[in-house]
């Protein structure tokens, strides 16, 4: 079974969704036959490499919230993340463009290290306050999970895998994906959002037995 997951490395619910998916997969009877593919989705494709302003200011501006409402929203997400074992430090976020991160995830897939890089990018952004829009930071994170530094640097300096990112995003539009994370099971069954592990597990079982859908 192939499970494709559209998500962004700057999406707080995507990291939560990753943990819940991992929990579901651990309880799935056919886990050994599951191929996981991380697909690209940019929440803010027009963002510069690095952005100024605090995360509270950005959230308030984007969703028309007051600073107090934005702060409460962040506190809620942080609590939910903590329940999944994640240490969110949203006040320290250094926002930026995620396009190059997605390109490196395609490179990592070629080397069997896509999930490892996805995890490293998410942790760097949400728990360590690293600016994952910066090429030097991306290069170091990719090397940490075992990718070749020279190949990573050459990829970042070129437009390699750029069209792969755009293909993923075109596929998302064709599927009607408007929010992430979004899970597609064997091209025939999809669920949206960071749903509870129990719901994801049921989706895996449904996809394995199409007659039950």
Q: What H or E segment, with its residue span, contains residue 134?
A: none
DSSP-assigned states of every residue in 38-90: EEE--S-TT--SS--S-HHHHHHHHHT--HHHHHHHHHHHHHHHHHTT----G
The tokens for 19 are 């943990």
Largest Cα separation within the chain, whole Å, is 51
- pTM for the model stands at 0.95
Q: Is 2-212 in CATH node 3.40.30.10?
A: yes
The whole-angstrom separation of Cα 29 and Cα 11 is 29
- Tens digit of pLDDT at every position of the chain (213 positions): 999 999 999 999 999 999 999 999 999 999 999 999 999 999 999 999 988 888 899 889 888 999 999 999 999 999 999 999 999 999 999 999 999 999 999 999 999 999 999 999 999 999 999 999 999 999 999 999 999 999 999 999 999 999 999 999 999 999 999 999 999 999 988 999 999 999 999 999 999 886 544
């Amino acid at each position: 079974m192939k499970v494709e997951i559209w998500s962004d490395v700057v999406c707080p619910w995507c990291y939560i969704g990753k943990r819940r998916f991992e929990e579901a997969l651990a309880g799935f009877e056919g886990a050994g036959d599951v191929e996981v593919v991380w697909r690209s989705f940019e929440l803010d494709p027009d963002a510069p490499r690095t952005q100024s302003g605090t995360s509270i200011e950005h959230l308030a501006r984007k969703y028309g919230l007051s600073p107090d409402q934005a702060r409460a929203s962040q506190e809620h997400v942080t609590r939910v993340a903590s329940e999944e074992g994640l240490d969110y430090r949203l006040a320290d976020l250094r926002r930026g463009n995620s396009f190059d991160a997605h390109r490196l995830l395609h490179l990592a897939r070629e080397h069997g290290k896509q999930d490892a890089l996805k995890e490293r990018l998410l942790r760097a952004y949400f728990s360590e306050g690293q600016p994952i829009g910066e090429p030097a930071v991306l290069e170091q994170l990719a090397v940490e999970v075992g990718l070749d530094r020279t190949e990573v640097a050459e990829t970042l300096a070129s437009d390699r895998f750029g069209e792969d990112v755009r293909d993923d995003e075109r596929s998302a539009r064709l599927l009607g994906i408007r929010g992430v994370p979004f899970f597609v099971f064997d091209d025939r069954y999809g669920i949206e959002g960071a749903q509870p592990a129990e719901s994801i597990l049921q989706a895996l079982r449904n996809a394995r037995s199409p007659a039950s859908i």
